[in-house]
Amino acid sequence: MDIGTVTGPAEQTPRTPLAPGAGIKEPEAGVGGRNAPPIGGTTGSAAYGLEDGAEALVRFLAGRRSAVVLSGAGLSTESGIPDYRGVTGRLRPSVPMTFQDFTADEANRRRYWARSHLGWRAITQARPNTGHLAVTRLMRSGLVSGVITQNVDGLHSAAGAPETIDLHGRLDRVVCLDCGDRSARARLDERLAHANPGFRDITAATNADGDAELPAARTADFRIVACEACRVGTLKPDVVFFGENVPAERVQRCYDLVDPSFALLVLGSSLTVMSGLRFARRAARQGTPVAIVNQGPTRGDALAALRLDLPLGQTLTALADRFGA
């Protein structure tokens, strides 16, 4: 499976990851938000350790009625799912398949599904970590009014989050490109296993993103299956590939969540992809303060009223504890 194929609009998502900060425009007017509180006189991250970082987050959120969370791959690394551009992602060797490549050629689809079929095992074994659980606690306490996630692993839901907007879709669902039927990935997994008994005992090394390493010779004879609803349709994981757009209706639902919120909390995203960055930009433009908790630089750092370079699991747990969530 190739989680790295999942991303935002084509025009804004290069096939080769941008270096963090690449392509950033000059900071927009109102950066940081007119209501952004001065925190320690700095937005720099080096100043904060775990304890004072959690305290700074408490101060950031205190008095604000609700915050919206925008999460990224960094929130799931502690569950063993590598990210795309962080430390775990740097070793990632393969180039994501584009939507155009996927739809153009059945050989590409064989390759995709063969590798994905093996990689899926690793994804189904992943469990929510303390960061996901803390976000759920903050939601239940009312401090977080909603979650927009760029992740496709379903771990917010597995952690009991009442509701999330899955910006880039979900790997546990499959969509038919012909009739539009949506079905469970578990069902497809059974069918692919049945059609490819020789794959049962293959243990391939798995790339950082869960895309199993298989030489082309092994994927060429992988048997893919058609949609069960229309019998002929091409099946694709229900995620947004490189070269695809996030549906406009879904983007609008995110704006509807962000616009009335009192703060935006970015968790574990490099914000390299415009698909996520646009919400930070929109919040900052509207004077809604943005806080970013991320190890390593992000493309939204100039927008942030508070910037913490800290590990998410411990930081979010400390935050939820301090709020008694």
* Residue 8 C-beta: closest distance to ligand NAD, Å: 6
* Closer CB to ligand NAD, 32 or 311, in the complex: 311
* Closer CB to ligand NAD, 24 or 229, in the complex: 24
List Cα–Cα distances, 96 to 7, 112, 210, 241, 291, in angstroms: 10, 10, 12, 8, 30
Contacts for 301 with CB less than 8 Å, ≥ 6 apart: 21, 43, 292, 307
Q: How far apart are CA 130 and CA 39, in angstroms?
A: 26
* Closer CB to ligand NAD, 101 or 172, in the complex: 172
* Closer CB to Zn ion, 18 or 177, in the complex: 177
The reply to whether 135 sits near ligand NAD by the rule CB under 6 A is: no
The reply to whether 207 sits near ligand NAD by the rule CB under 6 A is: no
Interface positions, 221-280, toward Zn ion (CB under 5 A): 227, 229-230, 233
Q: Which does 233 bind (CB under 5 to 8 A by kind): Zn ion, ligand NAD, none?
A: Zn ion
- Selected binder of ligand NAD within 1, 2, 3, 214 (CB under 6 A): 3
Task: From 4-12, 109-117, 133-141, 156-164, give the range in contact with ligand NAD by CB under 6 A.
Answer: 4-12
Q: Which residues are known catalytic residues? A: 168
List Cα–Cα distances, 269 to 75, 223, 226, 293, in angstroms: 8, 36, 35, 8
The reply to whether 296 sits near ligand NAD by the rule CB under 6 A is: yes
List Cα–Cα distances, 266 to 75, 98, 128, 280, in angstroms: 10, 27, 18, 8
* Residue 225 C-beta: closest distance to Zn ion, Å: 11
Question: How far is C-alpha 11 from the chain's CA centre?
Answer: 19
CA-derived radius of gyration, the chain: 20
* Closer CB to ligand NAD, 58 or 87, in the complex: 87
Interface positions, 40-79, toward ligand NAD (CB under 6 A): 72-74, 76-78
Structure-token match 């952690």, residue found: 159
CB distance 226 to 234 below 8 Å: yes
* Residue 149 C-beta: closest distance to ligand NAD, Å: 8
Q: Which stretches of the chain bind Zn ion, using CB under 5 A?
A: 176, 178-179, 181, 227, 229-230, 233
Q: Which stretches of the chain bind ligand NAD, using CB under 6 A?
A: 3-4, 6-7, 72-74, 76-78, 81, 83-87, 89, 150-153, 168, 209, 268-273, 276, 294-296, 311-312
